[in-house]
Structure formats: C-alpha cells, structure tokens
Structure 1
Amino acid sequence: MTVDSGTGNMNGAVKASVRGQEGHGGLWESVKKAAFIIGSGLLLLAAFGNSLTWHLQRFWGASGDFWQNLWTKLYLKFEGHDAALFFLGTMLLPTLAFWVSNGLLLLVDMTGKPSFITRYRIQVDKNNPVDPAKLRHALQTVLFNQVFISGPMVVGIYYLMTWRGNPCGPELPTFHWGLMELAMCGIVEEIMFYYSHRLFHHPALYKHFHKQHHEWTAPIGVVSIYAHPLEHVLSNMLPAVMGPVLLGSHLATTSLWYCLALVSTTVSHCGYHLPLLPSPEFHDYHHLKFNQCYGVLGVLDRLHGTDAKFRQTKQYQRHIMLTSLTPLNESIPETPKKVQ
C-alpha cells in the first residue's frame, strides 16, 4: 500500500508538473504571438509610411518633410484654437474611419450582397439578413454613445492632456516614436479592456449593464460600441484613451490610434473572417459563449485561463489570418456530429 501510494503521489506530481509546463509554454506562445503581431504591424506601418511619404513628396514635388509641412499648414490655420483642432482630430477622423468601414459592412449585412463576402460569415446561420428593427435600435444607441458620451469625454481629455504639455504642438513626433507610442497604447488597452470587460461580466454588473452588448450573440461591426453608457465610458473609451493620456501623445498619434482602435474593434465584431484582415474568431467566440476570450490580444486570457475552452474548438484552429480565398469554415469544417 505504501509503494502504491507513493507511486500515485509521484504520478500526480509528474502530471501537475507537466500541466504547469504546458501552462507556462502556452502563455509564452501567446506572448510570442502577440509580440509577432505587434512587431509585424509596426514593420508594415513603417514600410508603408516611409514609402507613402516618399511617393507623395515626389508626386507633389514637396520639399522637406511632407507630413510636417502638411501639419504646419493645418496648425497655422487653427492657431490659437487648439481645443477645436484637438476635438476635430480626435472625433472627426476616427468617426469617419468607423462609419466608412461599418457602412461597407452594413451593406452586406442588410442586403447579403456581394454574395461572395457572405461566404466568410463566421456564424453562417445568423444575420442572414440582419434583423432591421434590432439594427435600428443598435444604430440609435451607437449614435447616442458617440455624440453624448464620446464627444464630451474627448473635450475633457484635451484639458487633461494639456497638463502634460501641448498635444497640438507645432512639431510632429518622429515616425518611429509614433510607432512606439501606438504599440504602448495597444498594451495599455489590452490590460484595461481585459479587466474592465471581465468586471462587467460579474453577475452583479452583467444583468444591469453588459447584457445589452451581448444581445448580439452573433455580432456585426457597428455593435462594437453598442453598449450601456457606463460600459461605454469604462470599458470602451477609457482603455483606448488612457494610452495617449499617459504618454502625453501628440494629436497626430492620438488621432491615428483612435482610428486604428475603432477599425480594430469593428473587425473583431464584424462577423466575417475576411482574407488578409486580423482574425475576428476570438471575440466572435466571446459573443457566442459569454465566458471566454475577454481580451484583445489574448495574452491575459492565456495567463488567467479564460481561453481554455476556446483553444479546444474549431474556432481556435481558424483563429489565423486568412491568406487564401477559401473560407476557413470550408477548409477547417466542423466535426460531423455522431449519429445516435
């Protein structure tokens, strides 16, 4: 009995050790994946930005730095009206980015055309087409959040950022420093969004606030900011705005970050796994199952084990960038159910 007990304890210890190694390995893999995504994005942005600047300079025959000259002209036009410049830069451009991307998606959601895009729908039996009454209600809430929540918050953020310096200064940040700030903003958003989002899933808060967002178990792009006003402030806005506030970012970087954040959350909610775009499988699964995949990059989910069920699914296998024209629900189909 003693030998059997010792063997059992030893086997248990070995299994626990293996599980621990798998957990650490899984976390490390998640960290490496996030670093790869961020690093690749920064490299692409750097290459694209430098190339675009060079071509624009040649096209217009501009001398010196094209973007700096463009900013200087804008800065002089708004001289003495920095608050107005900041408001337009952080509301007008991001709002345009949001509605242009969502306008294209809404055409597909409402009409089912072009039909080849519907082949990439993640939850193939949902929103085909989207419920018009449900959509109208969502649009009303989104517009309310943008006008009456985001707008006033941006005004307050301007005065908060002026304590750190002038966010509308005459000189733009260097291109590479801007990229570094974008990466830091992404990290801040991941931390703040994960914990605030998970907090709103607490039963005491969920039924009063976050349940509204989860009315869409199969999300579409525009519902990315379909939320209760309190949730919109604490879980949508704060994680996005705190990076530029902490870093004392220039308006140019702040505006670009807001645009990226809004387009990113649109893609995460769009319901289509389209070629060459970031995979929305992670957050789509969250809407489907509620208690998995709370973050953006997935690092904190791996750390806290809140993606364990997700990693056992076909959705996890499809959670990659699609580089072909074949939809992933065709190349990685669901396992056929066994006939009883």
Structure 2
Amino acid sequence: MVINNTVLSTTSFFQSDAWLFAVYIILTYEIVFWFSNSFLIFIELFDIPIIDQYRIQKHKKKLRFQPDIVHLMIKETIYHQLSLIFLTPALYFIFNYFGHIDIQGIRPSWSTILFQLALFILSEDTIFFWTHYLFHTPWLYKHIHKKHHVYKQPTGVTAVLSDPFEGIQTQLATWFMPIFIKETHIFTVCIWVAIRTYQTVIAHSGYNLPYITTQYWLPELMPGTIAHDFHHQHGKWNYGSFFSVWDQIMGTHRLTTSKKETN
C-alpha cells in the first residue's frame, strides 16, 4: 500500500502543472541558449573569413578564450544552470499567486499572444534600462556590476557572468510583466523565454551579423549587438535592452566615441 501511494504521488508530480511548467521553460531556454552559443563558440575558436568580416571590434586583436576567462565562464554557467533548475518551479507558484498561467489549455489567439509579447518587451526594456543605469553608478559598478564587464570582447556565454544581485535585477525585468498579467499561457511564456534568451546571447555575440540581428532590420530603434558591444568596450553608455529609446531620452545613446569623450 505504501509503495502504491508512493508511485501515485510520483506519477502525480510528474503530471502536475508545476512540473510541466518547469520542463517547458527550461527546455526552451536550454535549446535556444546552447544552439546560439554553440555557433558563437565555434566562430570564436576558429577564423572563418565569411563570418569574421562581421566582427565588431576588428580594430582590436581577437582575444580568444583565455584560461582564466574560460574557468570563470564554466563556473558561472554551471551556477546559472543550477539556479535555473531549482528556481524555475518556484516561478510557477509566483505566476499563480498574482494571476494564472494556463499550462494545458488551448493556445490563445495570435492577437493575444502578440499583444502580450509587446507588453513583455516594453516592460523588460524599461525596467532593464533603469536598473542597468543604476548598476553603473560608482559603488554598485565596483561591487556588483563590474563582474559582468570583465570581458571587453564579449561572446554569448559571457552573458551569464553576473553577481547574484544583478541576476535578481535581470529576472525582475524579464518576469515583471508576465507575472502581473492576469491570464497568460505557457505557449506565450515559452516564446518570450526564447526571444529574451536569443536577444541576450546575440547582444553579447560580438558580431554584427546580417539578417539574424535586430540592428540589421531596425538600426535606429534597435541597435542591438552594436550598441551592447560598444557598452562592453567602454563600460558605459547604451544601457537599454531591446530599444535605444530610453538611451536617446537620457543622452546615453552612443555607437561611436568622439575625441572629446575619449580624452
């Protein structure tokens, strides 16, 4: 009888919405994260002329993967993966505390999906800009955010280099709007995870790749990799995530450095 109850409890857990939520979110993240980074790691290790022509920092010698940076990236990637596994199930209960996330119901209309994704992006971009801007104040930069800037020629995996406090900031920006929308569907949330993960990896890619980057299509509104690579080179300016609107309003939008600013 005890064995049967244990089997039933285990079966119920693996069929529960909380379990399915965690599986869907983690699988979506891992597929996008590792597919994108596998490509970037490959081109980081090997010189491929047809791709290398798009490297943003061509004026500098390619740094490659130094042993200390490799060690740091491996350690931080492991921490990041473990935190994803342990914290994602809790996100399900946060969703349902403030609203409701539908796991097994019928997919909503595309108009609803696109409307919610637009809200997610606008909310994330606003929260990310202001918290990122705050992290560049002297004390917070020195004690928290500097860890993310250790690699001035970023590649996709370096996106996970961050202090735990900065990790909280990133998660707040990512999940604020999805959590507070009264009704969301796992399909919409998985699309959001894919968009956010891809955007983060590509922003740190170090390459102005055609067709697959936002700056190729909307360079004035979404400078993407070019803006964020510039941010890593100089440790300032371009604090936005998806858009350059807040940077333009606050006077922190830069794609080139004037001689006056370098002196």
| TM-score tier after normalising by the smaller chain length | 0.7 to 0.9
How far apart, in 1, do the equivalents of 2:28 and 2:255 lie?
37
Match for 1:283 among 209, 228, 237? Answer: 228
Label 1:78 to 1:224 Cα distance change in 2 as closer, same or farther (>3 A).
Answer: same
| DSSP 3-state at the match of 1:207 | helix
Equivalent residue, structure 2, for 1:273: 208
Equivalent position amino acid for 1:216 in 2:
Y
CA distance in 1, matches of 2:61, 2:172: 31
- Residue by residue over 1:33-91, the C-alpha shift from the partner in whole angstroms, topping out at 9 and shown as x without a partner, is xxxxxxxxxxxxxxxxxxxxxxxxxxxxxxxxxxxxxxxxxxxx999510010001111
Aligned residue pairs, count: 233
The CA RMSD measured in Å over matched residues stands at: 2.0
* Structure 2: gaps (5+ residues): 1-11, 216-224, 259-263
Structure 1 position 155, deviation (Å): 2.0
Task: Tell me, yes or no, if structure 1 residue 105 matches structure 2 residue 51.
Answer: no
For the pair 1:219 / 2:154, whether they are aligned, the reply is yes
The separation in 2 between residues aligned to 1:202 and 1:127, in whole angstroms, is 29
Instruction: Find the counterpart in structure 2 of residue 305 from structure 1.
Output: 251
| 1:222-261 matches, cutoff 5 A | 222-234=157-169, 236-247=170-181, 248-261=183-196
Contact preservation (8 Å) 1:185, 1:244: yes
Distance change in 2, residues 1:191/1:246 (3 Å) = same
SS of residue in 1 equivalent to 2:115:
helix
- Once residues 186 and 13 of structure 2 are traced to their aligned partners in structure 1, the CA distance between those partners, rounded to angstroms, is 13
**TM-aligned CA distance change 1:174 to 1:131, over 3 Å:** same
After TM superposition, the structure 1 = structure 2 runs for residues 1-340 of structure 1, keeping only pairs within 5 Å, are 80-112=15-47, 114-124=48-58, 125-148=60-83, 150-163=84-97, 164-234=99-169, 236-247=170-181, 248-276=183-211, 277-279=213-215, 280-296=225-241, 297-307=243-253, 310=254, 313=257
Q: 1 CA distance for matches of 2:55 and 2:154?
A: 11
Give, as a single letter, the amino acid of the residue that structure 2 aligns with 1:258: V
Moved over 4 A (4+): 77-80, 311-314
| Cα distance in 2 for residues equivalent to 1:99 and 1:152 | 19
| In structure 1, distance between residues paired with 2:120 and 2:35 | 23
| Contact residue 109 and residue 128 of structure 1 kept, 8 A | no
Cα deviation code 1:79-126 (max 9, x no counterpart):
9510010001111111211011001110111222x3321111101224
State how far apart, in whole Å, the 1-side matches of 2:171 and 2:100 are: 22
Structure 2 CA distance for aligned equivalents of residues 188 and 153 of structure 1? 22
Q: TM-score, normalised by structure 2?
A: 0.82
Change (3 A) 1:312 1:101: closer
1:208-242 deviation per Cα after TM superposition (whole angstroms, max 9, x unaligned): 110000011111111112111211121x2221112
**In structure 2, the residue corresponding to 1:123 is in which secondary structure?**
coil
